[in-house]
Structure 1
């Protein structure tokens, strides 16, 4: 999750909120790719999750990366809670999941190099202290009470509020991981088309990357339990945003939605101030009980936008949020999948042609069915396996059209990063299916074997 935003002055007119979003518009030649991925850390001998402090801990990993690999520290309240270097950040999710928020890069070749270097650095430190890391959409064995809460004021506030507005919020915070990609848009019209495609086709990503069939030590009946968790988290800030498909949607429409999403906090002088249950619209009127008479800054607006969790969202860029965390190849495949769809106009048009006839019920049905059945999902005559095959072909065509070379020109484009997804299309199996086959087969129901078989 995001670190506090900075650099925004007072909000004097509500029009500044839409202008803030619109200021993210960039010409095509400056579009970049930012990839984020989370992973669970554990002690190799006990297979227990890492505490924040101790010889084998999140803090030990952060210090090792700081001291051994040149990362600069980010602290809150005297605690080391993140790192930064060369435009990238390493941060902590609430339950200690380690997240790389990658630098804005030009192509997927660079993205995959970044992933490789990061995982190698993490493994270097982890091996020295007897720690492992694994990429899954949900913690397969650990219970809620096994998971520590990281020492960040934001998480303390969220943890309390989550228990009031839904049934799975604290599970999301402590026991799920994702991989996502952040992409640019050129104009309001470009943002609208991309956000509509992102929301409508997010279930395809959920299906292809489904990798969380276990919770509490047993199968949970879903291929992506992480996706299921988001559906019961907080209706006020999650979901498929049906209004995005209304005629006339634009930056101002998103602003009106975000203004009414309940706030979590206001960040002042290094501390998170409780603003739970109030709206940013209240804040604009100076009506926050915690800050009577005070009105927000653009930094507050930027912070608030990080607390809205639909399947795809906009800030000064767009985030694709539907995929489970997973194995190395899929950490590179996820940005390749969306870049192929979004960064070539012909492919973007083709993707929209696929989805533009669906109504809100169909889109939500695909979201639900993808979490349960992945590529075996069937909704209103739509076969997810066939849909994913078609969407992947569009993405591949987009990457070919981009023609971004790698390996000194030996690789003509970025299409090979889709190979893991092509294998799923050919077999009809996603990572969750592979895990379930092991569980019911050679593992004989022993889920502890997931760590030796699927860690980085």
Structure 2
């Protein structure tokens, strides 16, 4: 995605005002709406022993056997071994979906040949949280969550959740505020529509979207909705400065496990970044640099995160017969003016219904109505090759069905282990 430029070298920050200006400069990029990037996570499941985590070395070996992907996606791994495909920006959402479909097919085939299934569900329905990625970043994150009293949800978030992330241009400067606000307002409806996580660690949770529930149990200063005032860049800066410092990085982190030495130290006291940058509290006996601030921004997880573009972070990972239509819907109702107008009106009754969306999904009548209107608006602007997927999604939404319903039925018929390991086939 198009991004604002950042300084080449780190410099010590003089105070909160300088930090806020630095954050604001990077939050949005003045560019035309259009380019789209997709990221799709899937749990790795050992077909011979689905109750066990796939070990780190095995995951690395499988990934190394895959050559460059045709859609140019990169392969990385989450703390619990979930596999993530991160696609580059493509000219439009249709191109992004086509590229991700091709890369996902190659990825799934390679892992399948090695005896590992890729299950695109919002939560791991079978296994207890367990971290297998050795990155120091994730160990430090676990220490921070434990010290903050949310070690359980923190471990679940890191090792037992998976998402479909849609990355969209922030648009022209005059559009930033309205696009940011609408991206958050449609969140509860898309949480309900994409819900695929009714189980966790072998047990039904009573929630359709358990992944969203886990996020709600974490610190709202880090994971909550961003309050947007007249100036969205200023609003994001205020949010970021209020959030507590999670970690301090030494050498560059390596999510891919390349063997690069990494140091990351957890911050186990409640220190808002503003307190550190203003000198009220010292972290590591020093004031923060711009590099520290950049790293702090990577530890913020609101439902919509501005990074020069918008990351929509609230969609559950979904199987192959759902995610393309979900990605197109999320994009269309923000990037297409007519669809955006419909969406803004449709979600008004439910634009703060995050908990209801996670708990009951489309069983809630207002959320179901809003979801149907969003998908119908997307159908009206869909290209011919995606329209069948959109119409299928619309039909399911009209029935009040989400991916969680399909998975629950599979569990009832086959058991959770077989449903989990065979869900993508």
Same fold (TM over 0.5): yes
Give the corresponding residue for 1:372.
359
Structure 1 position 264, deviation (Å)? 1.8
TM-score (norm 1): 0.81
Structure 1 alignment gaps of length 5 or more: 72-84, 406-410
Distance 2:307 2:236 in 1: 10
8 Å contact from structure 2 (residues 51, 127) kept in 1: yes
8 Å contact from structure 2 (residues 124, 199) kept in 1: yes
Q: Indicate which of 381, 385, 388 corresponds to 2:368.
A: 385
Deviations 1:222-254 (A, max 9, x none): 11111111111222212233x22x4x2420121
Give the corresponding residue for 1:207.
192
Distance 2:248 2:388 in 1: 44
* 1:17 is aligned to 2:2: no
Structure 1 position 371, deviation (Å)? 1.0
Give 1:19-418 correspondences, 5 Å limit: 19-22=25-28, 24-28=29-33, 31-54=34-57, 57-65=58-66, 69-70=67-68, 88-144=73-129, 147-165=130-148, 166=150, 167-241=152-226, 243-244=227-228, 246=229, 248-270=230-252, 271-276=263-268, 277-285=270-278, 289-297=282-290, 299-355=291-347, 363-364=351-352, 366-378=353-365, 383-397=366-380, 399-400=381-382, 411=384, 414-418=386-390
Relative contact order higher in (CA < 8 Å, ≥ 6 apart): 2
8 Å contact from structure 1 (residues 182, 318) kept in 2: yes
SS in 2 for 1:328: coil
Give the corresponding residue for 2:259.
none
Change (3 A) 1:180 1:286: same
Change (3 A) 1:331 1:288: farther
Give the corresponding residue for 1:82.
none
Give the corresponding residue for 2:256.
none
Give the corresponding residue for 1:422.
394
Structure 1 position 212, deviation (Å)? 0.9
Question: Which range is displaced more, 277-286 or 194-203?
Answer: 277-286
Aligned length: 402
Distance 1:127 1:449 in 2: 15
SS in 1 for 2:27: helix
Distance 1:249 1:261 in 2: 19
Structure 1 position 287, deviation (Å)? 6.3
* 1:450 is aligned to 2:419: yes
Distance 1:350 1:429 in 2: 22
SS in 1 for 2:37: strand
Distance 2:146 2:265 in 1: 19
Distance 1:149 1:287 in 2: 37
Structure 1 position 294, deviation (Å)? 3.9
Two-structure CA RMSD over aligned residues (Å): 2.6
SS in 1 for 2:315: strand
* 1:431 is aligned to 2:400: no
SS in 2 for 1:139: coil
Change (3 A) 1:229 1:313: same
Structure 1 position 283, deviation (Å)? 3.9
